Chains A and B, each alone.
Chain A
Amino acid sequence: MARRAEPPGHAHISLEVNGEPVEVSFPPHKTLLEVLREDLGLTGTKHGCELGECGTCTVLLDGQPVLSCLVLGVAAAGRKVKTVEGMARGPELHPLQRAFADLGAAQCGYCTPGILLAAEALLERNPRPTRQDIKEALAGNLCRCTGYIKIYEAVELAAAWMRGEDAAPPEESIYGRR
């Protein structure tokens, strides 16, 4: 049966958020970003330009990075959403989060949740990305602090950890060039 959301009532949907089943009601014109932040209290997903021009609101929808500011909440019905809150396992940070912290890949941190999720989707698809692969995968995420180098290094370090390698941060990225 086709679903017709009737005004002026709220849409009521079921979806999976960070591995848990969730039911939520909201006006049908709300974006997934607004539903996550305002109706589900998941404020880890940031709102930036809200026009699809910065990538800071990136979440994973069925494993694929999307801009939550341009997805309607109702379009997420029955689907799996992953936000930055779903990355750590209990007290243990995701390797990407740990690498970002170790290498100073987050400065103001506003773009970080979106970049972490875009990077996670990349590593899921490609465990051994080249620097160019990383640049391309993160080409939709603006960062105005870092200049990106630390971010690329952190993704490379996390990728090595996730492959089970005993990798250490490059000395240059911690101490600078000597």
Chain B
Amino acid sequence: MLRLPSFRYLEPRTLKEALRWKSESGPESMYVAGGTDLYPNMKRRHQEPKVVISLARIRALRPKGRSRKAASGLTLAPMMTLTELVESEGIRESYPVLARAAELISTPILRNMGTLGGNLCLDTRCNYYNQSYEWRKAINFCLKKDGAICWVAPSSPRCWAVNSSDLAPVMVAIGADFLLVGPEGERTVAAADFYQNDGIDYLSKHPGEILAEIRVPPRDGWEATYWKLRRRGSFDFPVLGVAAWVRWEEQKVAEARIVLGAVASQPQPVPEAAAAIIGSRLDDEAIEEAALAAFRPSKPMDNTDFGLAWRKEMTRQFVRGALKELRSKLVE
């Protein structure tokens, strides 16, 4: 059996208490939200915190206290479960792209447990990392945990594990902001700055900080969608995600962002692809140009499912599909 290593378990009731207990417990402690990422990782000995601090009973992080609509957009609570996000009528109506990305995560049972905040802070993943301790030991471990070599790129000084969150590329594409609360106080970071292109050091969040609010911008003339590639229609993490966001003005694209998921250690914006559709009515020509522009810098590595060339080709297909879907909304 795969058992969790032993640890001390704390359930703070307030953010203040959580921050205090975290600083008292030192670097060998970790926060846990839904546990669907951390606990499997702990069973495989990727993370072995001596103290686990659950955020589950902190009322300020739960939807009732935080999911409020403001004139300036919507504020979401990080401890909202993915099921709550999928089933929220307000979100389905006003921010269907969030519900769409959330309902593509794993399985309905896991979504009852996994949280929005947890998905946004998901550990990066890799074929050589998400394996049992014995498997990893047999290859003398890897750079991300316990080893010295990145088996994806053995001469590389960095870890190439993949950001596999479905909601992260969407948050970057729609321009969300995250409120972080830490021992030094509060700070707000743009979703794009929350992620870093390093498989080990993949978040700009300090370990002591808690993701306390997700602020999504108001719906003022933009549309967005998310396409996900994976082997099965359930369970699997993305092998490719495409989040596309456009702002219409007079039936033309005034602004655009295209962000690829699961091809780098962070959600990867492709500004060249976005530039190709600005000023257009998303006609076939502009879409083809954007799809090609996204295809060129998309460089999948041997760290997840499927063959590399096919994954790269699918970048073109998915960007094309996502933009055609947005065009059909423009016509509506």
Binding site for B on A (CB under 8 A): 2-7, 11, 27-31, 34, 47, 50-53, 55, 58, 64-67, 69-72, 74-75, 118, 136-137, 139-142
Contact = CB atoms under 8 A, between A and B. Distances in A.
A142 B1 CA distance: 19
A50 B2 contact: yes
19 contacts: A2-B11, A7-B8, A29-B6, A29-B7, A51-B44, A52-B110, A53-B235, A55-B107, A66-B109, A70-B40, A70-B110, A71-B35, A72-B35, A74-B9, A75-B35, A118-B108, A139-B108, A140-B106, A140-B109
Contact of A29 (B9, B13, B56, B57): B9
A136 to B, nearest CB: 7
Nearest to B10: A4
A34 B6 CA distance: 14
Given A4-B11, A139-B107, A139-B233, 17 more contacts: A2-B10, A2-B11, A6-B8, A7-B6, A29-B3, A29-B5, A30-B3, A31-B39, A50-B43, A53-B235, A65-B109, A72-B35, A72-B39, A74-B11, A140-B235, A141-B109, A142-B235
A70 B112 CA distance: 12
Contacts of A34: 1, 3
A74 B9 CA distance: 9
B139 interface: no
Nearest to B81: A64
A28 B8 contact: yes
Contacts of A3: 11
Given A29-B5, A51-B43, A137 B113 contact: no
Nearest to A73: B9
Contacts of B54: 75
B47 interface: no
B9 A137 contact: no
B4 A71 contact: no
A27 B9 CA distance: 10
3 tightest A-B CB contacts, nearest first: A140-B107, A140-B109, A139-B234
A81 to B, nearest CB: 14
Contact of B109 (A6, A7, A118): A118
B12 interface: yes
Contacts of A52: 36, 39-40, 106, 110
Interface of B: 1-13, 17, 35-36, 39-40, 43-44, 54, 56-57, 83, 106-110, 112-113, 233-235
A12 B56 CA distance: 19
Contacts of A47: 1
A51 B10 contact: no
Contacts of A72: 9, 35, 39
Contacts of B17: 2
Contacts of B107: 55, 139-141
Contact of B39 (A6, A58, A65, A70): A70
Contacts of B39: 31, 52, 69-70, 72
Given A2-B17, A7-B8, A140-B234, A51 B40 contact: yes
Contacts of B3: 29-30, 34
Contact of A65 (B5, B6, B8, B112): B112
A140 B6 contact: no
A71 B10 CA distance: 14
Contacts of A7: 6, 8
Contacts of B83: 64
Contact of A70 (B7, B13, B113, B234): B113
Nearest to B103: A136
B9 A2 contact: no
A6 B9 CA distance: 8
B117 to A, nearest CB: 16
Given A52-B106, A52-B110, A27 B35 contact: no
Nearest to B235: A53
Contact of A55 (B6, B44, B109): B109
Nearest to A8: B6
Nearest to A59: B109
A27 B112 contact: no
B12 A2 contact: yes
A74 B3 CA distance: 15
Contacts of B235: 53, 139-140, 142
A3 B10 CA distance: 7
B287 to A, nearest CB: 31
Contacts of A58: 109
Contacts of A66: 109, 112-113
B113 A136 contact: no
A75 B56 contact: yes
